[in-house]
Amino acid sequence: MRKKWLLLIYSLSLSKARQRVSWLENALGKAQSISDDDSRNEPGTYAELFAGECGEWLTRLYFELMEGMHGLPYSQCSDRIEALAFLQEIVATAMWKYGLPVSVELEAFAREFDRLDVPDERFRLYEKAQEA
């Protein structure tokens, strides 16, 4: 079920002109068509994704993405960095747009890396993954 919610939010973001994230599509499958109901129910979809076991799974996904960059050259990490940028966006949306609780780790990540559109910040994220 958790992958379903993340795929739906990813699909919603693509419908708003966000670029595709290859790591997510490999992990979740192809983006789905979005209905008007999906768009109207976006707040509820976020609530489902960040609740209970799904929220815990997102935290584990964050750590998996960070650990997956450890020891790799920066040039081989762009797909994971893109996935982390997407994760940061949805965590920030959950917290600040919808007022949803998120894990301490995800909140710290969203606050510390709120500018992953900036190349230097992406490299700083990569460097943090190398510290682990």
pLDDT in tens, 31-57: 989 999 999 999 999 999 999 999 999
DSSP string over 31-72: -----HHHHHTHHHHHHHHTSHHHHHHHHHHHHHHHHHHTTS
Place of tokens 């584990």: 60
Domains of the chain by residue range: 2-131
Burial of 40 (0-12, 13-18, 19+ CB in 10 A): exposed
Contact criterion met (CB below 8 Å) for 76 and 128: no
- For residues 132 and 122, give the distance between their C-alpha atoms in angstroms, rounded to a whole number: 16
**What span, in angstroms and rounded, lies between the C-alpha atoms of 56 and 54?**
5
pLDDT of amino acid 77? 98
| Residue 10 to residue 34: CA distance in whole angstroms | 10
What is this structure's pTM? 0.95
Mean predicted confidence (pLDDT) in 86-113: 98
